[in-house]
Chains A and B, each alone.
Chain A
Amino acid sequence: MNLIWLKFARDRSALTGLVIVALVALIALLAYQIAPYPEDAFSSDPMRRLRPPGAEHLLGTDSLGRDILSRVVLGTRIALGIALSVVTAAMAIGVPLGLVAGYFGGWRSEAVMRVTDVFLAVPQLILALALAQLLRPSLESAMAALILTYWPFFTRIVYAETQRLRHAMFVEALEGLGARPLRIMFLHILPNIASPIIVRATIGMGYAILTAAVLGFLGMGAPPPQPEWGLMVAESRDYLPDAWWFATFPGLAIFLVVFAFNLLGDGLRDIVDPRLRRSR
């Protein structure tokens, strides 16, 4: 355990990722305390519209006179909320399927893995758009679409790892002493493959935030007046390039958070699987 921390601490980019992610999580938790104008999530004030960054509004105001800093801070709650629910749900679907397919093999693995292949063949953004259109654009439909496109990644990893461990001697020892398949899969194999799942989940967080922002930008995600980053960038389009702050700060927020999750995910992967070490 200490060795892992040491290795991690020496990986500067992963550490940066971790620090940013921790900060963002803190901001999300305390959003209503940090945001200078928490009511600006929904209420507008036309009298102070499109003010440039200054002392009163550190990051300026938007076309409806709402404080952009407040909205970016409140947006972290939405972004992390989406990411966490999407990744959790995708894991809840993908991990058990992968375990079953990998452990039992035979027709079960064929069935699961072919369905997985089908889902992997569907372009993610297009499915998300279609679903959003079908269910009426909302955060929920965006999340549903993301879950539907992300679970196969968990299934594939878990399947490969379970297959590898399926024939490990300790599994045979467990079987030989009367352990049932479910117990072996969830209580013994799953803890052994937790690390690749965590790595995939971390990378998935960044992916979910990015795709949710894209959907918001296209008007297929969070509906106005939600302080969702993608939506905010979309609303700023008519005021560019004069009101540059309107688009820049929500955009920067997306960039930073996704970047941080990717750094963290890469760093974790390097620790978990040294064979995949990235070249620098």
Chain B
Amino acid sequence: MTAVLAIRDLSVAIRTDDGLAEVLDHATLEIARGEIVGVVGESGCGKSTLVRSVLGILPPAARVTEGSIRFDGVELTTLDARAMARDIRGRRIGFIPQDPYQAFNPVFRVGTQLLEVARWHGTGDQAADRARLIELLRQVQIPDPEGALARYPHQFSGGQRLRLRIAAAMLCRPDLIIADEPTTALDVTTQKQIIALLGALARESGTAMLFVTHDFGVVAELCDRVVVMYAGQTVECGASSVILDRPRHPYTRLLLDCHPDRAATLAGIPGSVPSVIAAPSGCRFHPRCPSASPVCSTALPPATVLGPDHEAACVLFGAGESHASA
């Protein structure tokens, strides 16, 4: 398996007035070429920080304290900001931001903003860029692509704006697209259509995708594999079908029980995601975990291989074969 993106033991800390916040704690994730990987977790689990670390757009107060991010053999954590902006962001990694309603500069025409992306990355040939963009707009099913370029963002619906953002992300034919909960702000029917479209486009072009969401329904429809995060730690990862059918980590199980389609009684998880300032020691889920034991607070358990393409980090499986890198 050749990984287009490999994140290993990534820790990110943000300086705040109240102290150091460890937003990511040894997060680990791998995406093979052409694979769609979902990252799932409650709000505040560090999903967006993970995305920003890969893109190299962490806020100024944040630092990568440990670990590595390798993109197609290039180490991104040490790459300088200039090269990151010129060669990686937008060019080799496409980005679809969170809220399509707010994702365009309101004062410029859509065409100007989309073509700008190609221009920064120095493709040079403006006519070709334009033709490529119009072709993409057709693919993302924007009616009247030529006319759409001359319109302003507020003249499009949320779903259409998201389609436009998808086109922007795909413009430079990236190897990887990162989508940060792009459909959360949309209504369910639009969301369904766009998820289907996104999946088809990614498969067709062979682009790998990192899809952040908190919706297991989206994962089931779109993702090959899924990574479950809790408070900055990777707790379980594996093929979507495996995780959805046989979740092993207590957090994944509880999270899945919150999904109305799957659980007879909506359980919910008592408590809430802890503050990452002075986060619980060891496994960060232990204060809310029904199966917690005293050991849980002492150390972060290593990821245990539970089957082909299925790992979980929990002391419950400590007896199993331990992951080499942990």
Question: Could you tell me the distance in whole angstroms from the C-beta of A57 to the nearest C-beta in chain B?
Answer: 52
Query: 8 Å CB contacts to A: which residues of B130-166?
Result: 165
The answer to whether A3 has its CB under 8 Å from any CB of chain B is no
B107 and A178 within 8 A (CB): no
Q: Which residues of A contact B106 (CB under 8 A)?
A: 170, 192
Out of B102, B103, B108, B117, which one reaches A178, CB within 8 Å? B117
- Closest residue of chain B to A190 (Cβ to Cβ) is B107
- Closest residue of chain A to B97 (Cβ to Cβ) is A173
> How many CB-defined contacts (below 8 Å) exist between A and B?
70
**Complex: A105 Cα to B105 Cα, angstroms:** 21
B105 and A188 within 8 A (CB): yes
Question: Could you tell me the distance in whole angstroms from the C-beta of A105 to the nearest C-beta in chain B?
Answer: 6
Q: Which residues of B contact A183 (CB under 8 A)?
A: 120
Interface size of B by Cβ–Cβ distance < 8 Å? 31
**Complex: A81 Cα to B169 Cα, angstroms:** 48
Knowing A169-B98, A170-B102, A192-B106, say if A177 contacts B117 (CB, 8 Å). yes
Out of A105, A170, A178, which one reaches B120, CB within 8 Å? A178
- Closest residue of chain B to A172 (Cβ to Cβ) is B97
Q: Which residues of A contact B57 (CB under 8 A)?
A: 172, 175-176
Q: Mark A76-106, 1 if CB is under 8 A from B, else 0.
A: 0000000000000000000000000000111
Q: Mark A167-201, 1 if CB is under 8 A from B, else 0.
A: 01110111111111001000010011000000000
A106 and B55 within 8 A (CB): no
A177 and B169 within 8 A (CB): yes
The answer to whether B208 has its CB under 8 Å from any CB of chain A is no
Question: Could you tell me the distance in whole angstroms from the C-beta of B170 to the nearest C-beta in chain A?
Answer: 11
Given contacts A176-B97, A178-B117, list 10 more A-B pairs with CB under 8 A. A168-B102, A169-B98, A169-B101, A170-B102, A172-B103, A176-B90, A177-B90, A178-B89, A179-B90, A188-B108
- Top 7 A-B pairs, shortest CB-CB distance: A176-B95, A178-B90, A177-B90, A169-B102, A178-B89, A173-B97, A175-B57
- Give A residues with C-beta under 8 Å from B: 104-106, 168-170, 172-180, 183, 188, 191-192
A/B interface sample: 15 pairs, CB < 8 A: A104-B60, A169-B103, A170-B105, A175-B55, A175-B57, A175-B89, A176-B55, A176-B178, A177-B95, A178-B88, A179-B116, A180-B85, A180-B120, A188-B105, A191-B105
